[in-house]
A and B are shown apart, each in its own frame.
Chain A
Amino acid sequence: MAEKISKKEVQKIAKLARLELTSEEVGQYAKELSAILGYISQLEEVDTEGMAITSQVTGLSSVMREDTVDACDSPEGLVALAPERQDGLVKVKAVFSAQGGSASGGE
């Protein structure tokens, strides 16, 4: 831990996070993330041998309910929230590019 984050790493993280950053932001986040991770490295001091991770705090787990039909928000009302619509559907850019392969950037 407590390693310096390079600009190249920032660019890699930004790509994973689907976040376009300016070159100024890349430099700024390289510096700030390094400082924050430096602070966080103090966690190494804590002996966590054999400790379970926290996955709930109130004792509830795998909560189930009856699978029943219930009223919900109107589909028209929900589609109306989309920034682009056509014929009552959400409109998006082409998912597959003309050259083949996914245009969504999946790796």
Chain B
Amino acid sequence: MNPQQLTIISARNGLRNKEFSCVDLVGACFGRTRDHDGDIRAFLSLDEERSLAEAEEVDRKIKNKEPLRALEGIPVAVKDIIATKGLRTTAASKILENFIPAHDATVVTRLKQAGAIIVGKVNCDEFAHGSSTENSAFGPSHNPWDLSRSPGGSSGGSAAALAAGFCLAALGTDTGGSTRQPAGWCNLYGLRPTYGRISRHGIISMTSSTDTPGIFAKTAEDMALVLSLLAGHDPSHDATSLPSPVDDYQSKLDMPLQGITIGLPKEFFVGSNGPSEEVVSQAIGQFEALGASTKQVSLPHTLYAIAAYYIITPSEISSNLGRFDGVRYGHRSDKANTLLEVYTKTRGENFGPETKRRIMLGTYALSSGYYDAYYKKAQKVRTIIADEVKKVLNEVDVLLTPVSPHPAIKLGEKASDPLAMYLEDVYMITAAMAGIPALSVPAGFVGGLPVGVQLMAKQLGEATLLRAAHQYEKATDWTTQHAKL
């Protein structure tokens, strides 16, 4: 059995129809991990023994014809910035190298309540600061489609593990594109939900005002299923979680696209996307063939999104990462003689270069004399960007754009230029600024490397995104293609 060829839906049927046992399924995922993760390096921690014990319990339930929950026995990998009780959670940072959380994140609790098996924790850029996994303190992950390339980031380990067949779904996070970009580079769906639609409780905070959990899945149907289980109000843990009722994502997948209007923001199509632009054009043609109408729209302040983002994000990081001071958890420097040195040496020795860079930038932007010129200015520009996209989404149902300007980059290609790496996020920041949902959809290949298109909708418009993606998926065969290992 090759788990690459299974979806959650097909695995659920396979288990229920006794085509294979849950121990077979989970064992196959660990078998592939043993064979290939030496090259891919997706996992930072594996939980094999407990996973197999849980799989045996699922097989017992199936044998006894007990009711099975929505994700019963489905192997899922979780980004290592998401707290898992009793299972090491490092945020890919040396400062948390031995951190074993005392609680589960809400998304993990919900996965477990649905019967999913958490097979392990996957690599990312340190504290999710990056777009390639090269900022991980434990080394980069490799793209299953081309091992010399990055799987994207920051949730690159999540994408690599799913594309390699080490699991059937994966959790990431998306602050400025960290789920959508790796999904696009690995031929997967990657969802950034509406801000507050899925609880952030238990996710190590980076940029609280734009952080969201992210979901990786192989098909729109799988995505709709996982989203329906993770979405919802979490009043006692996350004050920003939305009380609105959860939509019925699955039942709306089959609605045809006649009458849907897709907006194409002209600022996202300026001829700078190389061969990927051709893939995106073909996808637009396919959506039109399915009955959607398209319309050019304009988001003129898109140009300023990265500049605003790289003030707001480091500012919130410098504040959020203040908690890592060597007192309550994580490493403490053994070279410190005073309390002040405990802070400065612990942080100096254990944070990596990009994390330090962002803490420095944010501390500067928030410091006395600069706050108005940088932070307040950026937050005003954010209001303009968010208002602009919300207004356009009153005229069209969906916005379609590229995910990235190009397919997966070579490892090392941009690692030494922090600003060049920031520009990777150009098409994905708008959704983060406005708190709207955005979905990366597999749309084809350039030179054997996957290319995604991004769909955005108004807040709580996830059902529209998934429906559009599902109709497109039925008319194409991209999701049936898998990385050869």
Chain A residue numbers with a CB within 8 Å of B373 are 1
B: interface residue count bin: 35 or more
Chain B residues near A80: list those with CB within 8 A.
Answer: 102
Whether B332 and A84, one on each chain, are in contact in the complex, defined by CB atoms closer than 8 angstroms, is yes
Do A35 and B348 form a contact, CB below 8 Å, given A29-B360, A83-B331?
no
Q: For window 277-310 of chain B, which residues contact chain A by CB distance below 8 Å?
A: 301, 303-304, 306-308, 310
Residues of B within 8 A of A14 (CB): 360
Give the CA-CA distance A14 to B348 in the complex, in Å. 10
Contact residues, B348-390 vs A (CB, 8 A): 348-349, 351, 353, 356-357, 359-361, 363-364, 367, 373-374, 376-384, 386
Chain A residues lying within 8 Å of B235, measured Cβ to Cβ, are: 65
Question: Which of A10, A18, A81 sits near B344, CB closer than 8 Å?
Answer: A18
Complex Cα distance A14/B310, Å?
Answer: 18
A23 an interface residue at 8 Å Cβ cutoff?
A: no
Question: Among B196, B311, B342, B383, which residue has its beta carbon within 8 angstroms of that of A92?
Answer: B342
Contact residues in A for B433 (Cβ distance below 8 Å) = 54, 57
- Expressed in whole angstroms, the Cα–Cα distance for A29 and B361 within the complex equals 9
Contact present for A54 and B209 (CB under 8 Å): yes
Chain B residue nearest to A79 in the complex (CB): B328
- Which among B38-46, B164-172, B333-341 touches the partner chain? B333-341
Q: State which of B329, B380, B384 has its C-beta within 8 Å of the C-beta of A81.
A: B329
The A interface, classified by DSSP as helix, strand, loop or mixed, is: loop
B382 contact set on A, CB distance < 8 A:
53-54
Q: Is B347 interfacial (CB 8 A cutoff)?
A: yes
Asked if B380 and A52 make an inter-chain contact with CB atoms under 8 angstroms apart, the answer reads yes
Quick check: is B239 within 8 A (CB to CB) of the other chain?
yes
Cα A14 to Cα B12 in complex, Å, equals: 52
Q: Given known contacts A43-B378, A92-B327, is B340 in contact with A104 (CB within 8 Å)?
A: yes
Find out whether the CB atom of A21 lies under 8 angstroms from the CB atom of B348: yes
Contact at A43–B307, with CB atoms within 8 Å?
Answer: yes
B194 at the interface (CB under 8 A from A): yes
Complex: A20 Cα to B360 Cα, angstroms: 11
Answer whether A81 and B364 are a contact pair too, CB < 8 Å, given A65-B236, A103-B340. Answer: no
A57 to B436, CA, bound (A): 9
Q: Cβ of B328 and Cβ of A33 under 8 Å apart? A: no
Contact of A86 with B by CB under 8 A: no
B-contact 0/1 string along A21-65, CB 8 Å cutoff: 110010001001101110110111110100111111110100101
Contact B379 A54 (CB under 8 A): yes
State the 3 A-B residue pairs at the shortest beta-carbon distance, nearest first: A20-B348, A57-B435, A53-B379
Q: Can you list 15 pairs linking A and B with CB atoms under 8 Å apart? A: A13-B364, A19-B348, A40-B378, A43-B307, A46-B384, A48-B380, A51-B384, A53-B383, A57-B435, A57-B459, A81-B99, A92-B327, A95-B339, A104-B340, A105-B340
